[in-house]
Amino acid sequence: MKDNVLLSIIIPAFNAERYIEGCLTTINKEVHSTPSLKNSVEVIVVDDCSSDNTFQIARTAKSCLKDIDISIERHCVNKQQGAARNTGLKAANGKYVWFVDVDDLLNDQSLIGLSDFILHSDADIIQFHAMSMAMDGQTFTEDYHRDNLGPMTGIQYLEYEAKLKYTNRIRASWSKLLRRDFLINNSLYFQEGVYWEDVVHTLKCFIFAHQVIYVPLIAYVYMQTPNSDMRGAQNGRKFADTIRFCAESCKVLIQNNVSQIIIDSMKPYYNKVLLKYAKNLKSLPQEELECFINILQSIDLDYIEPCLGTDSHNWLKRKNEIVTCWKGGASV
């Protein structure tokens, strides 16, 4: 255990040779620009059994980038992003962890803006903001609150965001620093072997958090890369895992008796996602449809209706209606 580490930046990487150097370079630049965090930031790259040059590029960066302490963990089989994040968390030494996607970047002066909170705060979650960048360099930033908030409980923060009708920054794991001991003591690890594992994870983090602070800082650049899980080729597993995160989020909300204002703020997003995938189901080849149906049987769908207040998604429970929808014979 390294006693002087304040921040562990965890980067899952799978076949990321196009992106990893840029990601690590921006982190090195930010640490170099933040003297108060000198020798206090570690970067943990988790190579999830890449078949390209990801590991070699990371190893070269380890020797060339002098302002950050880079360590590399390797999976001997591909385990997906949730497992890679868990591997990084277990290897981390920092007071806080920051889960950064390998195809994204830290924004200019992000660590300068966060350094006082990293040094002096004991909040379970330090929440901030992000902007999106298209491949042509155009940027987009959604509205965000311009004043510091907190400390408040995670539930209070969810209620505050609900009043703003803005929840995107809640769902993403990269838009926040998480206190490492808070995660470990509450067994807040990511679900493994599924897509979009961070949606349910971050929701649980807020529900468990005793202290959240919000910093009005655009600290992260989300790159709209064409081959990301969200924008890349879709298949039965991705379709099913999309239903999974909606269903499991509903379950978490109901089982933890969160206020109706929180549930109401999240309903439109989950309804939109479920309807979108119902309408797109016919794009799956038949073998991927069978995969979708098989995985769906392992998902607890019973909390969707009481949470969302509608039975319009109950077709997911009946194979014949799924097949009818796939054939384009149902108007969902």
How would DSSP label each residue in 293-309? HHHHTTS--TTHHHHHT
Q: What is the pLDDT of residue 331?
A: 47
Q: What ranges do the domains of the chain cover?
A: 7-223, 236-326
Q: Which of 5, 7, 14 is nearest to 195 (CA)?
A: 14
In angstroms, rounded to a whole number, what is the distance separating the alpha carbons of residues 129 and 215? 8
Q: What is the pLDDT of residue 171?
A: 82
Q: What is the pLDDT along the chain (332 residues), one digit of tens a residue?
A: 677 999 999 999 999 999 999 999 999 999 999 999 999 999 999 999 999 999 999 999 999 999 999 999 999 999 999 999 999 999 999 999 999 999 999 999 999 999 999 999 999 999 999 999 998 889 988 888 889 999 999 999 999 988 876 655 678 999 999 999 999 999 999 999 999 999 999 999 999 999 999 999 999 999 997 765 555 567 999 999 999 999 999 999 999 999 999 999 999 999 999 999 998 999 999 999 999 999 999 999 999 999 999 999 999 999 999 999 898 755 44
CA dihedral 153, 154, 156, 161 (to 10 degrees): 140
In angstroms, rounded to a whole number, what is the distance separating the alpha carbons of residues 129 and 216? 7
pTM value is 0.94
Q: Residue 180's Cα: distance from chain center in Å?
A: 16
Whether the CB-CB separation of 316 and 243 falls below 8 Å is answered with yes
CA distances in angstroms from 201 to 60, 140, 187, 196, 249, listed in the order given? 32, 25, 11, 9, 9
**Strand bridging mode 149-152 / 7-13:** unpaired
Residue appearing with tokens 């690890």: 189
The structure tokens listed for 65 are 């980038």
The structure tokens listed for 310 are 């509608």
Can you list the positions of beta strands (E) in 196-310? 212-223
In angstroms, rounded to a whole number, what is the distance separating the alpha carbons of residues 153 and 175? 17
CA distances in angstroms from 296 to 42, 83, 239, listed in the order given? 39, 21, 9
Q: What is the pLDDT of residue 215?
A: 95
Neighbours of 71 (CB within 10 A): 17
Q: What is the pLDDT of residue 234?
A: 76
Decide if domain 7-223 falls under CATH 3.40.50.2300. Answer: no
In angstroms, rounded to a whole number, what is the distance separating the alpha carbons of residues 212 and 112? 20
Q: What is the pLDDT of residue 143?
A: 80
The structure tokens listed for 73 are 């963990």
Q: What is the pLDDT of residue 166?
A: 61
Neighbours of 195 (CB within 10 A): 20
Q: Which of 16, 125, 10 is nearest to 72 (CA)?
A: 10
The structure tokens listed for 242 are 């999309």
Strand partners, 130: 220
